[in-house]
Amino acid sequence: MTQTFGGLLLGFLIGSGCRWFDLPLPAPPRIVGALLVVAMTLGFLGADLALS
């Protein structure tokens, strides 16, 4: 459970960082990677809302 929460938190942080520095989101080819992209996208959108 801790690893799942840590992974989601990391995904949100990466997504927020990508949005902050206007970088494209990376996309790994596995299901875990796809879930990481979802978490990063939510972080990206959350940072976009916070910055606007």
Q: How many domains does the chain have?
A: 1
Domain span at 28: 2-51
pLDDT at 4 over 80: no
State the Cα–Cα distance between residues 9 and 5, nearest whole angstrom.
6
What pLDDT is recorded for position 29? 60
What pLDDT is recorded for position 32? 79
Residues 7-38: pLDDT tens digits?
A: 788 888 887 888 888 877 665 667 777 788 78
State the Cα–Cα distance between residues 44 and 52, nearest whole angstrom.
12
What pLDDT is recorded for position 10? 85
* Total-model pTM: 0.50
State the Cα–Cα distance between residues 37 and 51, nearest whole angstrom.
20
DSSP-derived 3-state class of residue 52: coil
What pLDDT is recorded for position 5? 84
Counting every residue written for the chain, the total comes to: 52
